[in-house]
Chain A
């Protein structure tokens, strides 16, 4: 740049020097030091004394002390004296030297030779203004205006003062004197305080609703001369037909107007009745009524439902080998009120559904029978009910086809119902022509495996026949698997005070049977005279084994649900007996002090079973905990005898039926449903089986020692 002279100067390295003045006040005189000035002495000698005028303060001594920070480089004299050359140049060293711009005209990048070389290191604005400049004029005007305002105010003040004085002088005229406008007086600016408070700001929220768009539909069509023509012709035809229709009754009306109108209304009525279009009898109405009933029941039995789901007897934690039964629902059928409950069967598919059969055990007072299917969700009215001519004694729901219900009656007939058909007639019935039993049918049971010819079920009756029924296309085909002969040879064996009156070859009345869990063909039959026979459907030559022990009619036999070798029986001789199928003598005998109507194994624990007695008590045993007495002996009904008992396949609840036609559902307390937990090595089932075997082993050892 022109005019800038290159300069070079030398500068010595600076030293930080702290000046300390020690001031001694003389004779109590105060000394005010002047503002300390930071001095950067360029003198290489730090000990140089600042000249002090001795005339003014003779006692005062001021000296300089150089304080060097520790981190400061210790430089030798030579280094300190070294000259460092700095050169001022006109070119800015940090300015770019290669700025190029694209030249649109020549379409090339061109080097910009004129780079701004000005580097501003320091700048400050002065406070002096030229008095001809705009800013200065404005400021002058303002000052002048302020001065004028002050002068005006002053004159105003004086005038008022003067007027007041005049007013005092005249003492009557000074009415219109007004206070001076003192808004222009300068107040103490520190008297003002600005105060503000801020309230919480409500956060904004977005709310929106979307309405459903109005329903739309699509349509297609076309319009042409021919379509219009056809449409009009069609309309003409329709009009003509309608006219004809309306004119015809008018024509015939002359003759039989009186007869015509009732006929029409009758036809209308018939259509209404035939179509079943009445709102009260429609399918939709029945559905709605069903939902309503379900809701009402849900409200009514809400507490029972909660008990069923969640209630556990807390006392069980304290008691060791005792349990209780909590009564839940009671199921009664309107038409089964004066009948005895004779059969119970849970559905295997629907865990809340069970079938109940009603009839009578009395020989002299027989009544018609009733089959009802209840759901736990609706204790007040059965889901399905159907009456039979003769009292029902047994029933069974099919495991794979939960709608099929086999029923055996007192008159020896067997029926199959489809419980989906409300109040309908049986699908199949065995009559006198088709080989029904001649004595009451005491038990029916669906065959586990479907036969080649269709679904099959077995039945047993006191006429001594054990029959297989096959569901053919439109009839029941019967096949006698076995005839139960009372064996005179065996009768002679247990002749201790027990007389066998039956003549050789006479048939023994079967009262109950149960198929083995492991082997489909193996089953045991309990008879009227107290013997239990093991038989097989594979051959009908005779019994595989006969078990002696009961002295009166056997009411129920049940194989263990988990162990294939053990079964239970109960009978009118007050006893429940546990049998090993390899031994003809019972392993354990429990005397319950009253005829035992039914016995049932728990589906989960191999050592737990429940028995229902005619006293109205339910006995629950867990022989792994106590092989002598029941863990729980509880009266479930105050009056009447218990007839049947059934465990729910999954939930810890029991159904108990009595001879008043009432089914009571009870919940087992935790002590009564102890089940082994799988420990990884063995499954729970294997552990249960082992537990049962251990109990039996102990019992057998005890028997041997007694002998």
Chain B
């Protein structure tokens, strides 16, 4: 019982700490990356419940900003193998729960 309690506390501390977006992997230029991270964070926070709407929002925003054909994956558990255009990949964790992968192809 104590283990469970510890785990719960641990996770609470973790979520408290992990409030910021953490860029895991990217080859974007700094300016583009900042903008893309902003887009992702806003969309994830807005559509916390519905990931489908969230990805749609991200894709539309990115298509508008950086030109078409962006692909977005967002979720808690996934794995991927993708081919992307160089300088157009961003993989980040948001809020300690959600992973978002966007790339252009």
Contact = CB atoms under 8 A, between A and B. Distances in A.
Interface in A216-234: 216-225, 227-229, 231-232
B84 A216 contact: yes
A269 interface: no
Contact of B75 (A215, A220, A221, A223): A223
Contacts of B93: 223, 228, 231-232
Contacts of B81: 218-220
Contact of A219 (B14, B18, B25, B76): B25
A228 B99 CA distance: 8
Interface secondary structure of B, over-half rule: strand
A22 B97 CA distance: 125
Contacts of B91: 219, 221
Interface string B10-28: 0000100110001011010
Interface string B73-105: 001111111111110010101001101010001
Interface secondary structure of A, over-half rule: mixed
B86 A216 contact: yes
Given A232-B17, A236-B17, A223 B25 contact: no
B90 to A, nearest CB: 11
Interface residues of B, number: 27
Nearest to A235: B22
Given A216-B84, A221-B91, A223-B101, A231 B24 contact: yes
A221 B80 contact: yes
B14 A232 contact: yes
A214 interface: yes
A216 B79 contact: no
A207 B37 CA distance: 43
A218 B86 contact: no
Contacts of A232: 14, 17-18, 22, 93, 96
A231 B18 CA distance: 10
Given A225-B76, A228-B99, A218 B82 contact: yes
Contact of A216 (B17, B75, B85): B85
A220 B86 CA distance: 14
A425 B5 CA distance: 75
Given A216-B83, A218-B81, A223 B99 contact: yes
A216 B18 CA distance: 32
Q: 5 tightest A-B contacts by CB?
A: A222-B79, A223-B99, A220-B81, A215-B86, A232-B18
Given A216-B85, A216-B86, A232-B18, 14 more contacts: A217-B27, A217-B86, A217-B89, A218-B84, A219-B89, A220-B81, A221-B25, A221-B80, A221-B101, A225-B77, A228-B96, A228-B99, A229-B96, A232-B22
Interface of A: 214-225, 227-229, 231-232, 235-236
28 contacts: A214-B85, A216-B84, A216-B85, A217-B83, A217-B89, A218-B82, A219-B25, A219-B81, A219-B89, A220-B81, A220-B82, A221-B25, A221-B79, A221-B80, A223-B77, A223-B99, A223-B101, A224-B76, A225-B76, A227-B99, A228-B18, A228-B96, A228-B99, A229-B96, A231-B24, A232-B14, A232-B96, A235-B22
